Structure 1
Amino acid sequence: MDGFYIGHKPVGISSSKFVLDISKSLNTKAGHTGTLDLEAEGIMIVALGQATKYTQYFNILPKTYEAKGILGIKTDTQDISGNVIQKIEDVNITCEELKSVIEKFKGKITQIPPIYSAKKINGKKAYKLARKNQVQSIELKPITVNIYSIELLECNIPKFYIKTVVSTGTYIRTLINDIGDTLKVGATTLIIKRTAIGKFDNESVGKVYSIEEGLYFIPSLILDHSFIKSLKQGKILTYQSQDGMYKILGEDGTFQGLAQIKNNLLKAIRMQSQ
């Protein structure tokens, strides 16, 4: 089976186990296009069969989350599963103040990933070092992410609920944490739900999309057999079109792979095996 399965990962199951269970259930090779925290739930795109060759291209898609946070508490994991490192009993913040601060996070921002994350330090995952109490050896570099939109859905101080659309690599736990820090009271995450990746949302759950359908965000080129054969042989062809990446389709509409056009030269990036 080749294609992209849209699944809903529940809370308490790792992304790797979620993918492994699907792989065993369908008896096919499987891989993910992006993980979710153990304590998070929501949409995951699982590549099946030959679709596993194309997982890296999904990182350009925006991701939509809904998250619940609580002001006045900071934990070492930035979510409620961690150890409390700061607590304020009386959170003197209004909903208007919270909304004003949240709106300031829209656009490109800098985040320092949480120490309990899969970011690697000298080849080792940060969370594994943290669990071994090697916190002093963890020095994570700031990353730039894009918050395309963010809104306050519910406010019942100290708890609040947000919806946000973000770029790949954004840590929602850190976003909640940084909102709390900006308000000078701290905050931690109670709930994270990923409700969409690009156009794939809750209505897509349980469906399998062909490789071509899954890569809907990449434009298509329809080529004849001789062109496709040459691309699979590694030849660079003259082809006049706009620079960029393209899905290559046969004249019968079958997906053949991905290719790049640059300066009117067409070169294969990854082609399907027959």
Structure 2
Amino acid sequence: MTSGLVIVDKPADWTSHDVVGKLRRLARTRRVGHAGTLDPMATGVLVVGVDKATRLLGHLALTEKGYDGTIRLGQSTNTDDAEGEITATAPAAGVGDAALQSGISALTGVIQQVPPQVSAIKVNGERAYKMARKGEEVELKPRPVTIHDFSVLEIRRHDDLIDVDVSITCSSGTYIRALARDLGAMLGTGGHLTALRRTRVGPYDLGMARTIDQLSEELRILPMADAVAAAFPRREVSADDARKVMHGGKLPAAGLGPGPVGVFAPDGTLLALVEEQGNAAKPLAVFVP
């Protein structure tokens, strides 16, 4: 079995775990995982690792992500999206375009975001969503996230509700549902997310993604070397340095930045991911025996 990434266009109503289960059957291996969970309601790019590529996933999960979504102003739900029950309503008809844009501007840049009550964050060892389902009030701490771009694509007004189609580019760990909730709170109307499509995870976008049906016909796996070269800076080393890296040794730093760097042998074989710390490049994961 080829080790590598499968870029899936996740269908609605599938959990990320459902996709992993399907890929395990298609790839005929248990060694399958995903980078960055998508809620069942959401569709779009889900990066799945097969075999040795599962060791890339933790590093890929930290990259920038892109989303298209629809925020409904005028209603709040207990999950901050359309999967939940409506908990409050307030007419949004009086919210003008300028006020809406002002709210969006306030939620752009580095912000402190409180994750949704129904989320996979752990509180004292238990998932927040499990506590919320038991009716417990979960106190989640705000955390810094970066919203690089928050653009309005279209505004549709229906009596007391406003649907706002948006495009968002953000850091890892951002909850788009929480942006919908916070925009609604800022405007005094309440808000929740009614549609979400992830368009990009790092360098992997919808143009590379395949539906479950397409993958069932032909399982396309992006080889490890291509996957790493697309996502991280590339460093080619001599045969002597290749031997060092293969045995877990450090290399001199090459000034390629703070994140992971892909190290390749003279013949183009992917050897490892390294991270530069001070004057040394230390292996994060070695891929050759």
The 8 Å contact of residues 243 and 264 in structure 1, kept in 2 or not, is answered as no
Task: Please give the residue correspondences for 1:27-106 in structure 2 after superposition, counting only pairs within 5 Å.
Answer: 27-28=28-29, 29-89=31-91, 91-106=93-108
Q: Specify the alignment match of 2:226 in structure 1.
A: 213
Q: Specify the alignment match of 2:255 in structure 1.
A: 242
Aligned-partner Cα distance in 2 for 1:267–1:109: 32
Question: Would you say 1:20 and 2:21 are equivalent positions?
Answer: yes
The 8 Å contact of residues 12 and 40 in structure 2, kept in 1 or not, is answered as yes
Report the CA distance between 1:112 and its aligned residue.
Answer: 0.6
Q: Specify the alignment match of 2:237 in structure 1.
A: 223
Q: Specify the alignment match of 2:269 in structure 1.
A: 254
Secondary structure of the residue that 1:36 maps to in structure 2? coil
Aligned-partner Cα distance in 2 for 1:262–1:181: 42
Task: Give the one of 173, 176, 185 matched to 2:177.
Answer: 173
Aligned-partner Cα distance in 1 for 2:78–2:111: 22
The 8 Å contact of residues 203 and 231 in structure 2, kept in 1 or not, is answered as no
Secondary structure of the residue that 1:176 maps to in structure 2? helix
Aligned residue identity for 1:53:
R
Aligned-partner Cα distance in 1 for 2:89–2:282: 57
Aligned-partner Cα distance in 1 for 2:92–2:128: 33
1:231-273 residue CA offsets vs partner (Å, 9 max, x unmatched): 3333344x36226442111111010111233343343221114
Aligned residue identity for 1:162:
V
User: CA 1:119–1:151 in structure 2 vs 1: closer, same or farther (change >3 Å)?
Assistant: same
Aligned-partner Cα distance in 2 for 1:236–1:192: 42
Runs of 4+ in 1 over 6 A off after TM superposition: none
Aligned-partner Cα distance in 2 for 1:192–1:2: 30
Aligned residue identity for 2:244:
S
Report the CA distance between 1:90 and its aligned residue.
Answer: 5.8
The 8 Å contact of residues 262 and 274 in structure 2, kept in 1 or not, is answered as yes
Report the CA distance between 1:199 and its aligned residue.
Answer: 2.5
Report the CA distance between 1:125 and its aligned residue.
Answer: 0.9
User: CA 1:177–1:221 in structure 2 vs 1: closer, same or farther (change >3 Å)?
Assistant: same
Aligned residue identity for 1:131:
R
Report the CA distance between 1:15 and its aligned residue.
Answer: 0.6
Q: For structure 2, which runs of at least 5 residues remain unmatched after alignment?
A: 211-219
Aligned-partner Cα distance in 1 for 2:277–2:86: 53
Task: Give the one of 107, 127, 149 matched to 2:129.
Answer: 127
Q: Specify the alignment match of 2:206 in structure 1.
A: 202
The 8 Å contact of residues 74 and 186 in structure 1, kept in 2 or not, is answered as yes
Report the CA distance between 1:89 and its aligned residue.
Answer: 4.3
Bigger mean CA offset, 226-235 vs 33-42: 226-235
Q: Kindly report the root-mean-square deviation, in angstroms, between the aligned alpha carbons of the 2 structures.
A: 1.8
1:4-36 residue CA offsets vs partner (Å, 9 max, x unmatched): 110011111111111111121111321111110
1:148-203 residue CA offsets vs partner (Å, 9 max, x unmatched): 00111111121111111011110001101111111011111111111111222211
User: CA 1:183–1:123 in structure 2 vs 1: closer, same or farther (change >3 Å)?
Assistant: same
The 8 Å contact of residues 246 and 272 in structure 2, kept in 1 or not, is answered as no
Aligned-partner Cα distance in 1 for 2:60–2:114: 23
The 8 Å contact of residues 113 and 145 in structure 2, kept in 1 or not, is answered as yes
Aligned-partner Cα distance in 2 for 1:194–1:246: 25
User: CA 1:253–1:243 in structure 2 vs 1: closer, same or farther (change >3 Å)?
Assistant: closer
User: CA 1:256–1:87 in structure 2 vs 1: closer, same or farther (change >3 Å)?
Assistant: same
The 8 Å contact of residues 73 and 192 in structure 2, kept in 1 or not, is answered as yes
Task: Give the one of 145, 164, 189 matched to 1:185.
Answer: 189
1:70-90 residue CA offsets vs partner (Å, 9 max, x unmatched): 111011100122121111246
The 8 Å contact of residues 236 and 263 in structure 2, kept in 1 or not, is answered as yes
Report the CA distance between 1:139 and its aligned residue.
Answer: 1.4
Aligned-partner Cα distance in 2 for 1:99–1:243: 38
